[in-house]
Amino acid sequence: MDSREEILAALRRAAPPDPGLPSEPVRGTPYADLALQLAEAVRAVGGAFQRVPDAAALREGVAALAARLEARRVVSRVPEAGAGTAGAAEVADPHQLEGVDLAVIPGRFAVAENGAVWVAGEDLGHRAVFVIAQHLALVVPAAEIVNDLHEAYARIRFDGPGFGLFVAGPSKTADIEQALVIGAHGARSCTVFLVG
């Protein structure tokens, strides 16, 4: 046995036993008020939160947001939120999305623990829409909030090729000096509309 094999054998002998997978599903903290916790988490990650009772209020909220942001090109993937001014992002060439000020995107569900919203790739029209827009509005039904990422991952399914992503607030990056920059690589703001 050479020295390499001796070292590897020693490492194998010193390795802790395999604990195996947990027999019970791992549960995090259940929140008494999921919507309240979600609102706090969204704000904590730099986003904005607005709860609206129905589709009419959603349209008004999105219109007010677009006006406040002075958004001229608005892409809407949520018909209940209005048609937008730049169609529904059904484009083959992402260059056609240049200059989109606000993208309104459906979220399948939201995570109360950290304010993340799950966005399915097939809901985007084109995957570039959520990174090229200056501002995001994510629309989530109030009944679709889960406590934590354990519950979130249990809900995610891919029936075929595709992708999805969690979006938690606007784009953020920080350097080694801990200078936080918002919107460096994507949307400068992110508003979560909770409907219902």
Residue-wise pLDDT tens digits, 151-181: 999 999 888 888 999 999 999 888 877 788 8
Give the residue extent of every domain in the chain.
Answer: 33-195
Kindly give, in sequence order, each residue whose CB lies less than 8 Å from that of residue 96, ignoring residues fewer than 6 positions away: none
Domain 33-195: CATH architecture, name and number where available? 3-Layer(aba) Sandwich (3.40)
Cα gap 126→171, rounded to integer Å: 18
Percent of the chain with pLDDT over 70: 98
For the whole model, what pTM was predicted? 0.85
Where does residue 8 rank: exposed (0-12), middle (13-18), buried (19+ CB within 10 A)? exposed
Q: Report which of 157, 150, 144, 186 is spatially closest to residue 169, judged by C-alpha positions.
A: 186
SS3 28: coil
pLDDT digits (tens, 9 = 90+) for 99-145: 999 999 999 999 999 999 999 999 988 888 888 999 999 999 999 99
d(C-alpha 82, C-alpha 168), whole Å: 23
